[in-house]
Structure 1
Amino acid sequence: MLILSLETSSPVCSVALHRVADGSLVGQSELRLDKSHSTHLTVLIEQLLANTGHQLTDLAAVAVSDGPGSYTGLRIGAAAAKGLCFALDIPLVAVSTLKALAAQVAAGTARPENFLFCPMLDARRMEVYAAVYTHEGQEVVAPTPLLLEANTLAKQLARHSVLFFGNGAAKFQPLLEEPANAGFLAGVEPSSVAVGALAVAAFHRQEFQDVAYYEPFYLKEVYTTTPRS
């Protein structure tokens, strides 16, 4: 019994398989090619199943990175996950992109109890999608669109050592006037492995989504424009 996890909230298209029984990682596959999700996601799923000696009927659930993140990427991931759940009659698990990213970094941090973890995803200009978590995943600041300024998250930085990471964190670093309690980690990208680890726990708690009505957590309203021509 396996959980298939999809991470499509960033330019990285990533899929992973975890065992339901013990949460162990069976395999992972990812493609770091921008705008590749629509053409390569299903191929990655098929290849991962084949390479690990499994098939779709071995899946107990599908997990998807819930957002925030790329509107297009999130829609592609949600559509693929919902299609599989409908076809296989299995539950859908949604995992916060920011929480999974924080758990991913906390797992690789020495003495993580000494830090707060702040994932930041680029939302263009000087805005990011961000949240703050403890090393155990407790929410200190709920996911929110943050306009980056010198005093952003000043309350948390005054009381704690905070690690910042994600593709929006680099914009924040030069704004800090007193960065004594701030640490910045480069090269941290959302991963289906972290999504899957949280999805296994959610599966055992039976925290499932309504497959028919599920929509990603965009955090901001989606704006569309009409072509002039």
Structure 2
Amino acid sequence: MSFILNIETATKNCSVAIAKDGETIICKEIAEEGYSHAEKLHVFIEEIIAESGISVHDLVAVAVSQGPGSYTGLRIGVSAAKGLCFALNIPLIAVDTLQTLASQAKISEGKIIAMLDARRMEVYSAIFSAELKTERAILAEVIDENSFKDFTEKLYFVGDCTEKCKTVLTKENFVFLEDIKYPSAAAMSKISYDKYQKSDTVDVAYFEPYYLKDFMVAAPKKQ
């Protein structure tokens, strides 16, 4: 049996799951406007370990969302994952945040457009097939009425920017799956297990999240 701890903190959703052989057995998560990751993440990890009836020493790997997403959220998740991997001497698995988001859309045809809010009309986006194969790599792009206009098949949009994108993306083949707002650690389970079986891991010491855009620190206001 292979137990993997999955950590997803790239968005407002602070999410942790334990999976056995690729199947989620328990998940705890909360999405709050104030980004409570620093307060909730380690508590959630301790709780799901206890509730699953296993020990941390039963874990064969830790999987973490690699981005794109919130700079602070990603740093918190990756730091926690690295700490556990160092302490337990187990591998670290990096999972594409937008693939995790897209995997929650269960469709049989068309394509999935996974998008996360990057402020104003900009989004982080990637395109996946119904089988979850990457059809277009991740971009930071500004959404307008011409976005995705060349697609004739059904496009299923998932992510936390539905409200702002619906105002300009109005073609009949555009479908917004509004219930799928944030990536979840529960949706990471199969992806991380597949990577574990292939020994598709990252260097614990040198791995860095995929921010996509440079982190900008605002200058302090003059008094």
| TM-score of the pair, normalised by structure 1 | 0.91
1:143 to 131, 138, 147: 138
Measured against aligned partners, the alpha-carbon deviations of 1:107-160 in whole angstroms (never above 9, x if no partner) come to xxxxx231200111000001011111001121112110110110011122xx21
1:172 aligns with 2:158: no
Measured against aligned partners, the alpha-carbon deviations of 1:39-63 in whole angstroms (never above 9, x if no partner) come to 1100000000101111110110000
Q: What residue number does 1:186 align with?
A: 178
Q: What residue number does 1:204 align with?
A: 197
CA distance in 2, matches of 1:134, 1:121: 18
Post-superposition offset of 1:228: 4.6
The runs of 5 or more residues in structure 2 that have no matched partner are none
Residues 15 and 28 of structure 2 are in contact (CA less than 8 Å); yes or no, is this contact kept in structure 1?
yes
The runs of 5 or more residues in structure 1 that have no matched partner are 107-111
Post-superposition offset of 1:171: 1.5
How many equivalent pairs are there?
Answer: 219
Q: Which letter maps to 2:36?
A: S
Q: What residue number does 2:126 align with?
A: 131
Residues 62 and 90 of structure 2 are in contact (CA less than 8 Å); yes or no, is this contact kept in structure 1?
yes
Residues 119 and 169 of structure 1 are in contact (CA less than 8 Å); yes or no, is this contact kept in structure 2?
no
Residues 127 and 146 of structure 1 are in contact (CA less than 8 Å); yes or no, is this contact kept in structure 2?
yes
Residues 23 and 189 of structure 2 are in contact (CA less than 8 Å); yes or no, is this contact kept in structure 1?
no
Q: What residue number does 1:10 align with?
A: 11
Moved segments of 4+, more than 6 Å = none
Structure with the bigger percentage of helix: 1
| Identity among equivalent pairs (%) | 41
CA distance in 2, matches of 1:216, 1:160: 33
In the TM superposition, 1:1-229 aligns within 5 A as 1-20=2-21, 23-33=22-32, 34-106=34-106, 112-156=107-151, 159-177=152-170, 179-188=171-180, 189-228=182-221
| TM-score of the pair, normalised by structure 2 | 0.94
